[in-house]
Structure 1
Amino acid sequence: MAAAPQIRPDADVLDPAVLRDIVTGDLRMTPEQGLRIYRELPIQELGHWADARCRHLHGEQVRTYVIDRNINYTNVCTAKCTFCAFRRDGDEEDAYTLEVDQILEKIQQLVDIGGTQILMQGGMNPELPLDWYIQLLTAIRDRFPQVHVHAFSPPEFIEFVDFFDPPGATLADKLRGVMKPLVEAGLHSIPGGGGEIFADAVRRKIGLGKCDAEAWLTVMRVAHELGMNTSATMMFGHIEGAADRIHHMELVRQWQDRSIEDFAFDGGGRYMAFISWPFQRENTPLGRCREWGEGKGDDLDAIFPGDAVARLDGTGSKTDHPEFGRRIRMSGASDYLRTQAVSRLYLDNIYSIGASWVTMGPHIGQAALAWGANDMGSVMMEENVVSAAGTTYCLSEPLLCHLIRNAGFIPAQRNNAYQLLKVHEDGTAPDHLVKDWSTQRASRLHVENDAACGDGAADTQSVELTVQGD
């Protein structure tokens, strides 16, 4: 068992010698040190150290991707998140819940192109009983035993507890009562959706009707106890302050420590990956807030409201600034890369950091491989939630491999456990088989609903990708 990293609060985290100890895993940053490198380390230097940490963990050569399909089985949802353009109440014309046969057809299309995993999430639909989920998972397992089912985010599980009212004295007991039959029916792992920002002041503003951080983290701890791996996510670049991002990472790291200590040597699970991305504003209520600096009387030399409220321990109060929640500070490419790089250095107990090319575009996703990311995520056949906010890109497998190779690495297809399935070194690699690259250009997934353009609503139809297999 590896020795625990040291914690040296008085160390100068900008000192290269200290950063080298962080890269090797001998030193763990404190929240104060994490915030300092976010604010003070030049972005190129931050990228250098994050890349060094990534290479220490993952080697010099291979960077990975997965072929999966994001199936959003319903858009009916009890939550009213202000950043979401996907949800529906249930009585709208475009509200939907997929039939089991429709979901099976989507999985068949995935299998036909060599896909290995489905990411299945939805709105929190009170009309669906527990038996519906069990029957769905059983049908998937029986027909596609080779497909990994990565499904149902923590907020969905919290609503399952509310909808199905399982017995139990504690939330963890109730979660076990819901989770165990789903695992028995074919659930393999849980995605990190609904993480957003853990700080309570932020979460209460943007995630109306969604579970708090303690509940989110408890879902994942129970999943780890039951032997499932999970991922963690963070959506930033809205009303939060920089300290909120570090606090979010700190909670993930703390709860990962607990899961590893309590379950890892008894067949338990853990957080395998951390993925962060900036808020996408189109068609969302939160996106209608003015950016800081655009409002009359805004003083850019004054502190951003989110920073005035944010605390490294998550205890900030909405009353600490009168404009908190009324102004947003969007994140561009440099802030995205800076935040991802900090996550690679801070989360010393998380194996994988995923690039968010889906929201940032292919070339920023490629650059992310030099700012701490080891994984390019999914060649997605379908995406509905982020695309409803107008900013989703899509890539073919050859183009994704091409981006990884041009960044100086060997592309490799992986599974959910980050085991390598195909390392693309020779002439049979997907990108090496392309004769005409004009057929492989990146495109945008988002399609506006013509009937709804007047009020800014978004079409939730999926857009299919052609993925070239070996």
Structure 2
Amino acid sequence: MLRPSTSSDSKRLADELNLEAVVAGDARLSPEDALRLYHEAPLHDLGRWASAICDRIHGSGPDAKRTYVIDRNINYTNVCSASCTFCAFFRKEGDDDAYVLTKEQLHDKVRELVKIGGTQVLLQGGMHPNLGVDFYVELLQGLKNEFPGVHIHGFSPPEFVEFVAVYDLDGFPKTDPKKSHELPREVWLAKLEAIMRLLMDAGLDSLPGGGGEIFVPHVRRKIGLGKASAEQWLDVMETAHKLGMYTSGTMMFGHIEGAADRIMHMNSIRTRQDRAIEQGYPGKYISFISWPFQRENTPLGHLPDFDLASEEPFPGDVLAEAVMRGEVDPSDKAACGVAAPRAGKVVRLAGASEYLRTQAISRIFFDNIHSIGSSWVTMGPRIGELGLYYGANDMGSVMMEENVVSAAGTTYCLSEEVLCHLIRDAGFTPAQRDNRYDFLAVHDGPDAPDRKVEDWSTQRAKALHIENQPAEVAPGDEGKNATIPLTVDGK
């Protein structure tokens, strides 16, 4: 039962959008309804409605479980053929700090993960133009032979798009990097499936949702230069679903896009999930995670900030809403320029309230996706905890290593003890999960990781491993600049 709204305006909005039925799972929001909800609903009401849906799916009260996973985000290379304006991580071949991990380096990282009880590796890299199919097959086979119990969650859709472009595969043509779209569609899809089957046979278990960013072409062509198109991204995931793999959807927002662009992005994923369910595919999207753009050290971050005190509407909103209404073809650059001349020339960053609003909308909108993740990695521990009251049921990973977001200046790092503490402090029971969100350990007893901590000052700072340390960092000081003081219960 949906609790009464806190104001007459909220009650009217809830009635007009049939939110009681939406929360009960008996109706769904249209994209237009979701945009209206985004603009008109008070933040606390959005949290209340999103939490009610989360409680229906995942349970409520202190016995209800909220989850985390122990994994490691390993970027096997930072060499990338794309030139995304929001990315501070990628390098070109020949750069002094470009790298490709050796087998020994990779296995050492996974060995460290297993030592702390880790169950999954998130394996992603730049889109390296000169690593052949044998490199990836041997990488996967080596990991599975050495660590058969570790789930390999690897290779985002843009990586697969480049695999299709550059792999030498019997029976299929190849193209130059960033040119796989030049292949006939049926050839492209057939080669994609053949590559995916090959990597699955070698040990790949599931696909992460990296590279989603924002799908709409009027935004994507400005921030994702040389990266997979939205259609390619969605086709990679649909192929994975047909072959039985579970995947995650993602969105990176808070830059040049409008709010309607976020809704249209979510709708593309929801529509494909509908098709996966209707067709009875053995795989599907199991989760959705969104996070705000981090501007430091990125070309996109050099754009001027939009003046929030201005009486003028944000140019990204003007263009996005015109596209949503069908008034502008988003693929027509000239038409987009006429509709909103400043679109793409100023950024509107997303803070904590904007993040929570967007996350809550995602939980209310995605009636066909099981899990919503809270992005404490970018937002910090306490906003991550608060996210559990804005529709999230999962706190993500114990962050041993992170190279992409940290390159843009964000380097939060939490231990398992602190993650459990945050979940329990929010009023839930922490539970370690696997990739399909099945519980591996429910921490409801005195031996829970957080309940065994006697001195919380020992948890206040953790070293986050960052792969490419500056040359002047002395041995033993790795990660020193990546520690974030963490206060737990004021201690």
- TM-score, structure 1 normalization: 0.90
Distance 1:445 1:302, change over 3 A: farther
Say if 2:324 is the partner of 1:307: no
Shift of 1:127: 1.6
CA distance in 1, matches of 2:285, 2:481: 29
CA distance in 2, matches of 1:460, 1:427: 32
Moved more, 163-172 or 136-145: 163-172
Shift of 1:313: 6.9
Moved more, 68-77 or 432-441: 432-441
User: What is the aligned partner in structure 2 of residue 277 from structure 1?
Assistant: 291
CA distance in 1, matches of 2:298, 2:210: 18
Distance 1:13 1:225, change over 3 A: farther
CA distance in 2, matches of 1:102, 1:391: 24
Matching of residues 78-93 of structure 1 within 5 Å: 78-93=81-96
Matching of residues 281-360 of structure 1 within 5 Å: 281-293=295-307, 300-310=310-320, 311-312=323-324, 315-316=329-330, 318-319=336-337, 320-360=339-379
Distance 1:12 1:217, change over 3 A: farther
User: What is the aligned partner in structure 2 of residue 468 from structure 1?
Assistant: none
Shift of 1:170: 3.2
CA distance in 2, matches of 1:227, 1:442: 40
CA distance in 2, matches of 1:371, 1:273: 15
Matching of residues 382-461 of structure 1 within 5 Å: 382-441=401-460, 445=464
Residues 17, 33 of structure 2: 8 Å contact kept: no
SS in 1 for 2:67: strand
SS in 2 for 1:387: helix
User: What is the aligned partner in structure 2 of residue 100 from structure 1?
Assistant: 103
CA distance in 2, matches of 1:149, 1:343: 26
User: What is the aligned partner in structure 1 of residue 182 from structure 2?
Assistant: none
CA distance in 1, matches of 2:228, 2:190: 17
Partner AA of 1:261 in structure 2: E
Partner AA of 2:440 in structure 1: L
SS in 1 for 2:437: coil
Matching of residues 188-337 of structure 1 within 5 Å: 188-264=205-281, 268-293=282-307, 300-310=310-320, 311-312=323-324, 315-316=329-330, 318-319=336-337, 320-337=339-356
Partner AA of 1:217 in structure 2: L
CA distance in 2, matches of 1:236, 1:460: 27
CA distance in 1, matches of 2:147, 2:436: 18
Say if 2:163 is the partner of 1:160: yes
Shift of 1:449: 6.3
Distance 1:17 1:390, change over 3 A: closer
Partner AA of 1:77 in structure 2: C
Distance 1:120 1:204, change over 3 A: same
SS in 2 for 1:432: helix
Distance 1:121 1:82, change over 3 A: same
Matching of residues 113-128 of structure 1 within 5 Å: 113-128=116-131
- TM-score, structure 2 normalization: 0.86
Partner AA of 2:403 in structure 1: N
Distance 1:16 1:430, change over 3 A: farther
Matching of residues 352-371 of structure 1 within 5 Å: 352-371=371-390
Shift of 1:305: 1.1
User: What is the aligned partner in structure 2 of residue 48 from structure 1?
Assistant: 48
Partner AA of 1:357 in structure 2: W
Per-residue CA deviations over 1:209-248 (Å, capped at 9, x if unaligned) read: 0011000000000000011000000000000000000000
Residues 86, 460 of structure 1: 8 Å contact kept: no
Residues 381, 463 of structure 1: 8 Å contact kept: no
Say if 2:190 is the partner of 1:173: yes
CA distance in 1, matches of 2:368, 2:90: 34
CA RMSD of aligned residues (A): 2.3
CA distance in 1, matches of 2:290, 2:66: 18
User: What is the aligned partner in structure 2 of residue 456 from structure 1?
Assistant: none
Residues 79, 127 of structure 2: 8 Å contact kept: yes
Partner AA of 1:415 in structure 2: D
